[in-house]
Amino acid sequence: MLVPLFARAVESTRKRPILVDPRAVGIAETVDWDFTRFNQRKRVIGCVIRTVMFDELVREFLRRHPAGTVVEIGAGLNTRFERLDNQSLRWFDVELPAVADLRRKYFPDSARRTLLASSILEGDWIAAVRRAPAPYFFVAETVLIYLPESDVKAALAQIAHNFPGANLALDTGSRRVIESGNKDFVRRKMAARFAWACEDPRSIENWQIGLRVVESRGLDDIRDPWWSRLPLFARASIRLLAALAPNVLRAYRLNLFEALPHS
């Protein structure tokens, strides 16, 4: 929750930032936590690239459906609403009760934005979202990867069943990504651990829970205007990996799914 907040705040201070997030800067200044152990340029850029790629998917949905409903799963201290609000959308943040209490200190509810304190695995939040206007877009940025596969399947099945026709954006990581991330958490004395490994996002279709892949992108598929704003070393590193070790870049995927209509 704090690492991506820090990344957005740091990136916002660059001369040619990929993302500008003044709200993240303000919140980071109030949080009493040692951000320095994550102050690595590579880590900051990785977090920010992921965020702008998710933003791009939500923004495209809002271009087509400006009065649609967006549901952010595991919102943490994300400021996506502030970045993307078009003054007509309906927005829900779904977060665990303990985190929701912290989030409320920074993000009060409004007429078009509501925080729902609930686990995504429970059904407490569903009725409130279904009362909002369709179509629906669900976004889960680096949330499901912390759950065991059985919980991921249950959460996605619940969304697909209750919101046919909805879109869902989520990221997946291979076993290599999971193991590398967990070693990093241990090295930095963090309690967080990744759990769900997914080698191929299309395997989720085989779960037969009513989801199909619309799009799947790796970190080598960064589009302008963000690509041109990346530091030279980042663009060079991505091009080198794409040429010599493309599987490394494809081990982490950002995916867009559609919930199929009920037959």
Ranges of each domain in the chain: 2-259
Cis peptide before 201 (omega within 30 of 0): no
d(CA 12, CA 35): 15
DSSP alpha helix (H) spans, 31-147: 41-64, 80-84, 97-104, 126-130
pLDDT at 98 over 70: yes
pLDDT at 72 over 90: yes
pLDDT at 43: 74
pLDDT at 236: 83
pLDDT at 39 over 70: no
Asked if 260 and 212 count as a contact pair (C-beta separation under 8 A), the reply is yes
Q: Specify the CATH architecture of the domain 2-259.
A: 3-Layer(aba) Sandwich (3.40)
d(CA 56, CA 22): 19
Per-residue pLDDT tens for 173-231?
999 999 988 888 777 777 889 999 999 999 999 999 999 999 999 877 887 887 788 87
Average pLDDT over residues 53-79: 96
CB count, 10 Å around CB of 23?
Answer: 19
Taking CA atoms, 203 is separated from 5, 41, 58, 239, 251, in Å, by 31, 33, 23, 28, 14
pLDDT at 214: 98
Q: What's the token pair of residue 169? A: 């954006």
State pTM to two decimals.
Answer: 0.93
pLDDT at 246 over 90: no
Contacts of 25 (CB under 8 A, 6+ apart): 9, 12, 13
d(CA 220, CA 228): 13
Averaged pLDDT score across all residues of the chain: 91
- Report phi then psi at 74, rounded to 5: 65, 55
d(CA 51, CA 59): 12
